[in-house]
A and B are shown apart, each in its own frame.
Chain A
Amino acid sequence: MKVIVDLALCQDHGQCAIAAPEVFQINDEGHLEYDATPDEAMREYVEEAADVCPVQAILVEG
């Protein structure tokens, strides 16, 4: 599974980090960091994160 976040869209809402904290984190500067190739076991949470991103910046591929 591949995760792509369109960082031009991302506004650091942090909703993804609530849904899938193992994959998405907000760093101390308040910006998003994420694992672009998470384990397949994370799929449900990653899809949830993509659903709840207010600006729909998260794309899940494969």
Chain B
Amino acid sequence: MSTAERVVVVGASLAGLRAAEQLRAAGHQGPITVVGAEPHPPYNRPPLSKEVLAAPPGGAPADLLERVLFRRRASTADVEFRLGDPVAAAALGAGTLVTEAGHTMAYDGLVVATGLRPRRLAVPGPETGRHVLRTVDDCHGLRAALPPAGPADVVVVGAGFIGCEVAATLRTLGHRVTVVEPVGGPMARVIGDVLSAAVQRHLEASGIRFVLGAGVTAYVGDDRVGGVLLDTGETLAADVVVEAVGSVCSTEWLDGNGLDLSDGVLTDNQLRVADAGRVVAVGDLARFPNPLFDDVPRRVEHWSVPTDTAKRAARTLAALLDGEAPDPTPFAPVPSFWSDQLDLRLQSFGSPALADEVRVEEGDPGHLTGGVLATYHRAGHHVGTLAVNLSPARQRDLRNAFAGLVPIA
């Protein structure tokens, strides 16, 4: 078992933390350093669009952070965290990294865990009043921009999961919320048109307005945003804008090493980065084939994926450091995500987004709070399940039914 080999984990969020924990669980005894761009220790992001965004106003970023920090495991007590200094470049051939502050590090094994950052809209107009939501600092900035005294006009650009959650949370706080989405209905790409339309009606009933099929042309205002000009000619009043228009993978620091970085970091089924030696990738940016579905490598931006990939990637890297071949058993995690919007809880297993057919198995999409179960199929194969407001007591059966229904190639 390796005792001297040094592992560097780049990215200090969920995936990076779990990778460090799982390397210890896999028997790696050598030094581990986790390098993070953010100044904060690893924390949990999902509450940032839910409970933490909804928390009573006031409080410093440190107080918000306190609510979402991950607990430190005893097994990682000797893991070194170097925070607030991103890795700027890597020379994989030499096994070295250099940080923005100029610090150089050598590694024997490398874990890529730098995740995503929000895409920004390239439209003209003032900067002040434009927000994104990925980090605890973003969340603090958005909260601080909302007037404590009265309702604000909020425009959310993008009706994906984060956009819908932010809209729902801000509506609950009493703000006037409009969601602008150029392509399809809310979350339609993932949950399909029928459920998307049902969720839209439910959110609309709370007073959220949806403007679909429209794009943003400009932000209006002098030194701060006062409105959003759409390509339909309409101008929406806006004190605060939240851009939730997807993400960009943070892989620039790997440029120049001949890797396939066209969409995240391409890996094999064991999470080993193609053509890179003792390097694995984990979390939102890992593009790996999942034999539960087919052999096409895909990234999966769900909270369950950092933990699942870290477990497997740690074993792969530990084997490589010991000079052994990684375990060839197929890695076939069941992706799962949840989303809370007003009084709805969506829970999914599998990959509904792959489907060409949606079947509503239980309940009435016109009455989501009564509970709805939908299954998703591709060429007749069950590839995903979505439960809306079903009893959590059923989660286990739903997940197991899914895992059992799809043949592992």
Residues in B whose Cβ lies below 8 Å from that of A27:
393
Residues in A whose Cβ lies below 8 Å from that of B395:
13-15, 17-18, 26
Residues in B whose Cβ lies below 8 Å from that of A54:
44, 46, 303, 338
Dominant SS among interface residues on chain B: helix
Check B71 against A59 for contact (C-beta < 8 Å). yes
Query: What is the CB-to-nearest-CB distance from A14 to chain B, in angstroms, rounded to a whole number?
Result: 3
Q: Is A37 an interface residue (CB 8 A)?
A: no
Check A30 against B70 for contact (C-beta < 8 Å). no
Check B71 against A17 for contact (C-beta < 8 Å). no
Interface bracket on B: 10 to 19
Known pairs A51-B307, A54-B303; A14 contacts B393 (CB<8 A): yes
Q: Is B304 an interface residue (CB 8 A)?
A: yes
Check B71 against A26 for contact (C-beta < 8 Å). no
Check B304 against A14 for contact (C-beta < 8 Å). no
Chain A interface residue count, Cβ-Cβ cutoff 8 angstroms: 17
Check B44 against A51 for contact (C-beta < 8 Å). no
Docked CA distance A17–B394 (Å): 10
Check A17 against B44 for contact (C-beta < 8 Å). no
Q: Is B382 an interface residue (CB 8 A)?
A: no
Q: Which chain B residue shows the least CB distance to A50?
A: B71
Q: Which chain B residue shows the least CB distance to A25?
A: B393
Instruction: Digitize A2-44: 1 where CB-to-B-CB distance is under 8 Å, 0 elsewhere.
Output: 0000000000111101100100001110100000000000000
Docked CA distance A56–B347 (Å): 17
Docked CA distance A28–B391 (Å): 8
Given contacts A26-B395, A56-B70, A56-B71, 11 further A-B pairs with CB under 8 A are: A14-B392, A14-B395, A30-B391, A52-B307, A54-B44, A54-B46, A54-B303, A54-B338, A55-B44, A55-B47, A59-B71
Residues on A lying within 8 angstroms of B by beta carbon are 12-15, 17-18, 21, 26-28, 30, 51-52, 54-56, 59
> What are 15 residue pairs bridging A and B, where the CB atoms are less than 8 Å apart in the complex?
A13-B338, A13-B392, A14-B395, A14-B396, A15-B395, A17-B395, A26-B392, A27-B393, A51-B18, A51-B307, A52-B307, A54-B44, A55-B44, A56-B70, A56-B71
